Structure 1
């Protein structure tokens, strides 16, 4: 079955379109008429397809997509490779039963939950009778995300003030939970002043060092590296130390 996309003749006299460059006009038309477009205005559009169909390279494609996102004409979800034309419903009525059935089918295949929710909101705004009951709003996923956020906030509040002082100073922030456990052990054997002083010296020493060569905070604490007597301007580590410390995840 052949697919057609209508473009209103008023398109060329639209105030927004009149101010676009020729390149932007071409790309805007492409977004509305390309081979992946759908009746609901939300569709999957991998960048490699855009490159093939428009003849633009990846850099130009990214530039144009971001430009229309900033214009408020589209949204693009890079994780699902989907695009949403924000004014699609305004100019494409979906009152016909056949069209509604088609839209419901297409919407069920949309991966981006944000786009699904945005489409339903727009449908209500324009009074379109979309079967919202059949749409998965991702409520279960949202509940799980809320639980994870609560758990994370709880973990944040469980960190001691002393550890937070260390964490704010330390130049490489990875594996905070592990670092907190190592700090709890270190603080039993050394004063807070000793730990913070040594950490500040180390931070100054490695401030121009590539992040991958900076010790993990857990490694730094487990090895009592804060008492190594770092001096500002001293080289980070010799090559043997770098190989030994290089991202082993300790």
Structure 2
């Protein structure tokens, strides 16, 4: 039996699609909504390799796109262990009608879902009550099953914690103040680094396109070397010139040679460049630089090069002789023509 997936025409009028999505985002989102693995409930199993094969992307590009749709657009969720993907607003457009065939299909597909927590966010957008009740029954039954398991797991965790505490007591204690300061410094630096990378990656993908692994490594290198603020500033200048990332790297390399370390240094260079342009704008002609030796007297040159006067006189005589012969030859040729 053939499967069909409906895409509402308002998809192209959604502000999120129009303003926040790149062309690659739109292409990827349409694939998530219509690929053969999709189900009636909006949760289906699919691997990253299959997505990469179907779309012609690398697995790194798929990872980047999934990250954007989970953290930035907040339209999907993906379980790395079960390989299940959930489209959060699926029910808004596909679960507004219900009947016995639809409910039977929904119940069948709900039983096959491994990670039932993916259903919770989809339930928020389901308008039909009967479909919503079917979702809630499966989520509730799963919660009861997991509650008994969680009790046993808690006991095992408590036993492990006691064993770990005993092992820690045998080791040399670390001063509490030093330990807290190290943990706080590490956590703060780690979160700052991750957030700075993610914001710059997002800026790249929103303006340049999908971020492949090679470019992401280059971005990380320049962020570590120059700082995220300067990298973003270089990308903004690149966008004004409608160039690619290669142009951005050229700007950053030039800033390294000019010892640029802050955006303030960039502004100072721009002012200096503008001032130089105003100074040279009024210069209309170009003055050729004549070497000094060209204006020197022949005798002065001879004196500098230590040429004897006798040799100079012989040269002048020979020159005069040749000029006379050349003049006579020209007159003879002229006479023949007449």
**TM-score normalised to structure 2 length:** 0.45
Q: Is the 8 A contact 2:110 2:138 kept in 1?
A: no
Partner of 1:248: none
* Equivalent-residue separation in structure 1 for 2:30 and 2:13 (angstroms): 14
* Structure-2 change in CA distance of 1:44 and 1:162 (3 Å): closer
* Structure-2 change in CA distance of 1:158 and 1:122 (3 Å): same
- How many residue pairs match? The answer is 168
Partner of 1:223: none
* Structure-2 change in CA distance of 1:161 and 1:43 (3 Å): closer
The counterpart of 1:73, out of the listed 68, 72, 75, is 75
* Structure-2 change in CA distance of 1:23 and 1:138 (3 Å): same
The counterpart of 2:93, out of the listed 91, 98, 116, is 91
**Alignment map for 1:134-213 (pairs within 5 Å):** 136-157=141-162, 163-164=168-169, 166=171
Q: CA deviation at 1:105?
A: 0.9
**Alignment map for 1:1-250 (pairs within 5 Å):** 1-19=1-19, 20-70=21-71, 71-92=73-94, 93-119=96-122, 121-122=123-124, 127-129=129-131, 130-131=133-134, 132-133=136-137, 136-157=141-162, 163-164=168-169, 166=171
Partner of 1:247: none
Q: Is the 8 A contact 1:94 1:128 kept in 2?
A: no
Bigger fraction of residues in helix: 2
Structure 2: which 5+ residue stretches go unaligned?
A: 175-338
Instruction: Describe the superposition over 1:16-59 as per-residue Cα deviations: whole angstroms up to 9, x where unpaired.
Output: 00121000000011110011011100001111211121111100
Q: Counterpart of 1:84 in 2: which secondary structure?
A: strand
Partner of 2:234: none
Q: Is the 8 A contact 1:24 1:64 kept in 2?
A: yes
Q: Is the 8 A contact 1:116 1:137 kept in 2?
A: no
* Equivalent-residue separation in structure 1 for 2:126 and 2:12 (angstroms): 29
Q: Counterpart of 2:33 in 1: which secondary structure?
A: helix
Q: Is the 8 A contact 1:51 1:61 kept in 2?
A: yes
* Structure-2 change in CA distance of 1:83 and 1:152 (3 Å): same
Q: Counterpart of 1:75 in 2: which secondary structure?
A: strand
* Structure-2 change in CA distance of 1:154 and 1:24 (3 Å): same
**TM-score normalised to structure 1 length:** 0.59
Q: Which runs of 4+ in 1 moved over 6 A?
A: none
* Equivalent-residue separation in structure 2 for 1:15 and 1:168 (angstroms): 56
Q: CA deviation at 1:155?
A: 4.6
